[in-house]
Amino acid sequence: MTYNAPLKDMLFLVAEWIGLEKIRGLRGHEDLDRDTVEAVLNEAAKFCVNELLPINREGDEIGAVLKDDAVVTPPGFKEAYDRFVEGGWAGLDAAPEHGGQGLPKLLQYLVEEMLAACNLSFKLYPELTRGAYHLIDAFGADEIRERYLPRMVDGTWSGTMCLTEPQSGTDLGLLTTKAVARDDGAYAITGSKIFITSGDHDLTDNIIHMVLARIEGAPDGVRGISLFLVPRSIVNEDGSLGERNGVTTGSIEHKMGIRASSTCALNFDEATGFLIGEVNQGLNAMFRMMNMERITVGIQGLGLAEIAYQNALAYAQDRLQSRAPGERPDPDAPADPIIYQPEIRRKLLRIRSQIEGARALAVYTGFLVDVLDRSDDAIMRDEAGGSIALLTPVIKSFLSDLGVSCTLAAQQVFGGHGYIREHGMEQLVRDARITQIYEGTNEVQAVDLVTRKLTADSGSIVKRQLDYWDKFFETHEEPAAILEPAAGALANLKLATNSLQGSLESNRAHALGAATEYQRLFGLAIIGCIWADIVVSINDRDGDFYETKRMLARFYMEQVLPEAASLTEVIVGGADALAEFPVDYLT
């Protein structure tokens, strides 16, 4: 398994497509230059390729192991983690006052892609720490922030997110973990949590658990949930570690993929916890971390798709089989590399055209997050926040679906060799599968998109997004081979959006029955619009890189985007067949 980070494309998206001048217009990023962006991406690529990729397969084979009530990570993980924190990667987008580098989120997202491509299991250990850091920074009291955040930024301590219970998954209103107030202002937390990523491990001195629980006497349902910081070990007044808290690891899950990542069942037995945010407002606070993770999970799928593509491409260039029906590199050879077979070339182009469009969507969203965090313009912040909320379920679902479909397609290029362990493709397929499930299944994301995002601010948020692209196509007409199909997909998206908004009022079940199809349509159409924007932005530029972009955009329009029309037909006119089919007839 090999990997070469797509640095040229990444740098193009940041420095040319988004534009450094836009990023420098945000508070704290005034001095960002191309050399800095390039250096960060180059160094991240070196770390991922040299440190993480070599331990990925062995980590998968050995896995995380529970030994003497503690989790032991696979060989090489502790050493790689130490080099990870030494390189400052744990605090890339963290605030300088906590020891972080304060770099833009869109750079963080590109580093996340490289980490996921080379070793998703490893990536998950610092990933949850970053989410917990930003959650505590946003809602924690000053004393909590001062005590915990610097140690999380320097990588000495890590973090988790503890929501799910055996009887309470997506419906968090059913959770039963309880919190009892103590005289010293802390709380005693008692209950069990499952599926806790990085719930226990040997990489850091302490683990900071972000736990949802219900204070005694709180209202039923989600309105009675509070959020608590529960350290694995108690932190003394001077910052040193004291006795072990009442947190134990009950078991670790034996999973289909990401086997080197410790997914734990945790038991809290009157563990000391500290309230984060307001009483009974825990779910609202936790959504900050959850939504960050949803975008990051989509980027995981993107990274896995990229490394799968690269290895399938290399294999297709070397594997000789049959004579190609058209162009042949050697007319006298008995067989040609399979990349000359139209079906193999189509698979590879389908993967790449979607990857590069999806990467642009991720970078665009990262820029919106930077605008939300750092713009001095209140209107820009408000609009960015609305767009992020709208795009989050789309990125999570579309990019994770892409990770699965692309790793499967790349595995297919290998034929029988892709099914055995030797080439590593089967691990990519297994690792990618979880991205469609955790942080809210893609079906949950679809329901959220349709029921909440399409109705937010009386539908004005989605209208603003669609109007923006309408104006783009009114302004630009050439090249027609790219812009016309993209504008057609946008028209389909508008039609489907109006249809579902009407169904939500007249027949909610019809709207929910089309949610997954709508979510995919949204992703396909928006990426089509983004491809159109990229092509317009490079209209006067020559060279192989830019010509490849134009050709990939054309392929996307001709071979991928036509699916938007059939999805629209299902969304607008296919509800009755689903609604009228009796459940009993499924048995």
Domain ranges of the chain: 7-139, 158-280, 457-587
pLDDT for res 172: 82
pLDDT reading at 169 higher than 80: no
The CATH superfamily holding the domain 7-139 is Acyl-CoA dehydrogenase/oxidase, N-terminal domain (1.10.540.10)
**Cβ pair 516, 443 in contact under 8 A:** yes
Q: Which residues are known to be catalytic?
A: 439
Residues 6+ apart with CB under 8 A from 578: 513
Checking if the pLDDT of 168 tops 90, the result is no
How confident is residue 173, by pLDDT bands cut at 50, 70 and 90? confident
> What confidence score (pLDDT) does residue 359 get?
98
Give yes or no for residue 15 having a pLDDT over 80. yes
Residue range 453-462: average pLDDT? 93
> Are the beta carbons of 149 and 137 closer than 8 angstroms?
yes
CA 247-251-256 angle, 5° bins: 135
Which residues are CB-contacts of 15 (< 8 A; sequence separation ≥ 6)? 34, 37
DSSP 90: G
Residue 69 has pLDDT above 80, yes or no: yes
Q: E strand or H helix at 195, and its extent? A: strand 187-197
Q: Which CATH class is domain 158-280?
A: mainly beta
Predicted pLDDT at 252: 96
Q: 462 with 389: CB under 8 angstroms?
A: no
pLDDT at residue 574 in the model: 85
Whether the predicted pLDDT of 575 surpasses 90: no
Weakest-pLDDT range from 300-309, 431-440, 499-508: 499-508
Instruction: Give the mean model confidence (pLDDT) for residues 147-164.
Output: 97
Equal CATH topology for 7-139 and 158-280: no
CB-CB contact of 148 with 136 (8 Å): yes
Residues 541/468, Cβ–Cβ less than 8 Å: no
Q: Specify the pLDDT at position 580.
A: 86
Region 295-323: what's the mean pLDDT? 97
pLDDT at 326 over 90: no
Whether residue 535 is predicted with pLDDT greater than 80 in this model: the reply is yes
Tell me the one-letter amino acid at 106. L
C-alpha–C-alpha distance, residues 498 and 488, integer Å: 16
**Total count of residues recorded for the chain:** 587
The angle, 0 to 180 degrees and rounded to 10, between the axes of the packed helices 342-374 and 515-537 is 90
The answer to whether the beta carbons of residues 297 and 362 sit under 8 Å apart is no
Determine the pLDDT at residue 428.
98
**Mean predicted confidence (pLDDT) in 423-447:** 97
Model pTM above 0.95? yes
Q: Does 564 have pLDDT greater than 80? A: yes
**Amino acid present at 401:** D
At 284, list the tokens: 């609202």
Q: What is the pLDDT of residue 24?
A: 98
